[in-house]
Amino acid sequence: MEPSANILIIEDDKEVRNLLFESLSKLGYKIKGVGTGKDGFKEIQSGKVDVALLDILLPDINGVDLLPQIKSVNDEASVIMMTGVSDIKTVRKAIQNGAYDYIVKPIEIEDLKISIERAVEKTKLLRIHKDYNKYLEKTVAEQKEQIRKTFVGAIISLVKLLEARDIYQKGHSLRVGSIAGRIGELLGFSKERIENLRIAGFLHDVGKVIVPEEILFKPKSLNGSELLKVRKHPTAGAEILKYVIEDKETLQGIKHHHEHYNGKGYPDKLKGENIPIFGRIIAVADALDAMLSNRPYRKILSIEDVKREFIKNKGSQFDPHIVDIFLENFDNFIQGYYE
Ligand SMILES: [Fe+2]
Ligand SMILES: [Fe+2]
């Protein structure tokens, strides 16, 4: 027996209610008695009920109809129906509606006692099961977060390794990822999508590993065949990363960050909305960081020149909608660059 179990009696016949109250109290249960379906439902909502004894003919509602309501707010509580007659149809409907057991009046306390003991046991098991599931869900979520952190950490190490050979690129990828993520926020992307966008930004230039250093760091302008080699880096990046990144949008963002809105970019000469949105966003972030970083061939641009560049290339190189949103929040994006 479970002495601490909470039993609720929903029974309009005061005599029956009192009788049950007394006999069950003697067995050590905590008893509460109510006379209407409405009051019973309120008690169930409080969540402290382990087993409910439910009369079928209540003044305000039929007990069988109250069952689904009870189950909807407390699916762990076991309900034992008390029926005046052994009406098999009613009993069947009650069981279908989620009743655990039924007992025919006049009630034999000994029978009721056995039924309650089993019902309490069942409620207890359900609660253990539920707690265990909650624990599992929590553990899985924690592990997922841990894996995500490790993954992002590995990506940052990879990017730092790549940028180590190029002083002009130092920090570029991380800044592009962060700017892209902020544009994603302004566009109302989901948290998960923003995270993917940031990762795509971090990794957008990974494909540069295939470009020989003498081309990458050539102080003079590149000839045709050298340019072709450099232009392979977006596709190469997506190819390399497809083994570790499952998200298609992230890979597309990497592959298409040098497409131009007017179709004159590379690698696929995609036009307008056909350019995956991650690619269009990273293009803007990439350009901003390039304009605000010192390069061998030029110095950092002034705020006015940066704005002018974006306005000039809006609709040709860049997605006009993204540029508008970006310029509206311009001060946010240039923070840290002019210090
Ligand atoms: Fe690039
Ligand atoms: Fe870049």
Render pLDDT for 78-108 as a digit per residue (tens, 0 to 9): 999 998 766 788 889 999 999 999 999 889 9
Q: pTM higher than 0.85, yes or no?
A: no
Neighbours of ion ligand 2 (CB under 5 A): 205, 286
Active-site positions? 208
Look at residue 86 in the predicted model and tell me its pLDDT: 67
Residue type, 273: E
Q: Which position has the higher pLDDT, 338 or 242?
A: 242
Is 3.40.50.2300 the CATH number for 6-136?
yes
Do 6-136 and 165-334 have matching folds?
no
Look at residue 164 in the predicted model and tell me its pLDDT: 84
Task: Place domain 165-334 in its CATH homologous superfamily.
Answer: Hypothetical protein af1432 (1.10.3210.10)
Look at residue 300 in the predicted model and tell me its pLDDT: 84
**SS3 of residue 32 by DSSP:** strand
Q: How far is CA 89 from CA 72, 81, 94, 96, 291, in A?
A: 23, 13, 9, 11, 80
Task: Tell me, in angstroms, the distance from the centre of ligand 1 to residue 73's CA.
Answer: 55
Give domain limits for the chain: 6-136, 165-334
pLDDT interval class at 3 (50, 70, 90) = low
Q: In sequence order, which residues have a C-beta less than 8 Å from that of residue 32 and are 6 or more positions away?
A: 6, 7, 8, 9, 43
Look at residue 88 in the predicted model and tell me its pLDDT: 83
pLDDT interval class at 321 (50, 70, 90) = very high
Q: Identify the nearest ligand to the CA of 288 by its number.
A: 2
Q: Identify the nearest ligand to the CA of 254 by its number.
A: 1
Burial 68-81 (b: 16+ CB within 10 A, else e): ebbbeebebbbbbb
